Amino acid sequence: MSPRFLRPSIVLLAAALLAGCSHGDTSTAPAPAASPYAAVARGRVDIEGGLLKLGMPREGVVASIAVHEGDHVHKGQLLAALDTEAAQLAVDAAQAEQKQAESQAKLLDQRIQGAQQRAQRLAAAASAGAGDGQSADDARENVQQLQGERDSALANAALAAQKIAAARYELGQRSLHAPVDAQVVRRLIQPGATVSPTAGPAFVLLPDETRIVRAELNESFVDAIHPGMAAEVVEDNGNSRQSSLKAHVLRIGGVFGASTLEEDPQVRANTRTVECVLTFDQPPPAELRIGQRVLVQFPAAPKA
């Protein structure tokens, strides 16, 4: 038989075999399992406001440091102090000015009292014809002059009191105190170092605030998540056996931004996310530290 007649026969046989296999296998590929979560987002453990970075309020030389890293401090507790010699001299000088002005005012009070008595006697003598009126007038003018000097001394004393208040305020600015109850995370200065308000933080504190999770919610899931919605938080370390922590959505941001937790730069640049803040239903364990990465899983609503 000619080869040109064999080729169509081979093609028909192959087609028949394929058709037989197709009709004989009635099985279908399994449908993908439905996800139990309405959304999954990466997040980071944080506190409201974040870590507290404190700088020295004035320029100077660090005289002493009262705390170490890891210490727990209370509101108002001294953290560090600068050299206070110049500020204390300013306080002492203002106090000396106040004392001088007050002493001058007391002395003038005594002189005014004597001048008033003399003016009264001269005025009485002039009325009785036993003295001249010019002396009585001079005595009255002297009293008025002394009263003006006393008023000036009292004004100087009040001005000195304001200087004392300002000098004491500056003296207080030579010390740094904890604004809240917190833990000292970092200490970035040493005794003898020269610091200034623009030199960066001197201490980094972790305030005793409720821990939260800041999750980056992909724009495709924004409409599926709402405040009050339940969620599960697990560490983002690939361990599928770890237990989850119950949480719920506190608020959802109103501004889109680029992802900061995505490791792939291209994906990070092309992904738009909204910040979703969650709070834990129960206090989280101490092992869940600030800055730790987590996965936030939002369970899907059960189907009716």
Instruction: Give the tens place of pLDDT for each residue, 279-292.
Output: 999 999 888 899 99
Tell me the pLDDT band of 1, cut-offs 50, 70 and 90: very low
Domain residue ranges in the chain: 37-49+209-299, 52-82+177-207, 85-172
- Closest residue by Cα to residue 268 from 224, 216, 213, 221: 216
What is the DSSP secondary structure assignment for residue 219, as one 8-state letter?
G
Residue 271 has pLDDT above 80, yes or no: yes
pLDDT over 60 at 24, yes or no: no
The winner for highest mean pLDDT among 29-43, 76-90, 111-125 is 76-90
- For residues 293-297, average pLDDT: 94
Residue 40 phi, psi dihedral angles, 5° rounding: -135, 135
Q: What letter does residue 66 receive in the DSSP assignment?
A: -
Least confident window among 47-56, 87-96, 136-145: 136-145
Percent of the chain at pLDDT > 70 equals: 86
Mean of the per-residue pLDDT values for the chain? Answer: 85
Q: Contact 66/78 with Cβ under 8 angstroms?
A: yes
Q: Determine the topology of domain 52-82+177-207 in CATH.
A: OB fold (Dihydrolipoamide Acetyltransferase, E2P) (2.40.50)
Tell me if 37-49+209-299 shares its fold with 52-82+177-207. no
Is the pLDDT assigned to residue 41 strictly greater than 90? yes
DSSP 3-state of 112: helix
Residue 240 is predicted with a pLDDT of 54
Domain 37-49+209-299 fold: Elongation Factor Tu (Ef-tu); domain 3 (2.40.30)
Alpha helix segments (H runs only) across the chain:
3-24, 85-128, 133-172, 265-270
Average the pLDDT over each of 41-45, 175-179, 268-272 and give the range with the smallest value.
268-272
174-215 tens-digit pLDDT = 999 999 999 999 999 999 999 999 989 999 999 999 999 999
Instruction: Kindly report, residue by residue over 129-157, the tens digit of the pLDDT.
Output: 776 778 888 888 998 999 999 999 999 99
Higher per-residue confidence, 242 vs 225: 225
Would you say 231 and 248 are in contact if contact means Cβ atoms under 8 Å apart? yes
CA dihedral 66, 71, 75, 78 (to 10 degrees): 0
What is the pLDDT, as a whole number, of residue 2? Answer: 41
pLDDT of residue 193: 94
Q: What is the pLDDT of residue 22?
A: 43
Q: Is 87 exposed, middle or buried (0-12, 13-18, 19+ CB in 10 A)?
A: buried
Q: At residue 16, does pLDDT exceed 70?
A: no
* 164 pLDDT more than 50: yes
The CA distance from 88 to 242, in Å, is 59
Q: Which residue do the tokens 């009191």 mark?
A: 161
DSSP for residue 194: E
- Structure confidence at residue 124 (pLDDT): 84
Q: What is the pTM of this model?
A: 0.71
Residue 242, pLDDT score: 65
93/105 Cα distance (integer angstroms): 19
Residue 185 confidence (pLDDT): 96
Position 8 scores a pLDDT of: 39
| Rounded distance between C-alpha atoms, residue 59 and residue 260, angstroms | 36
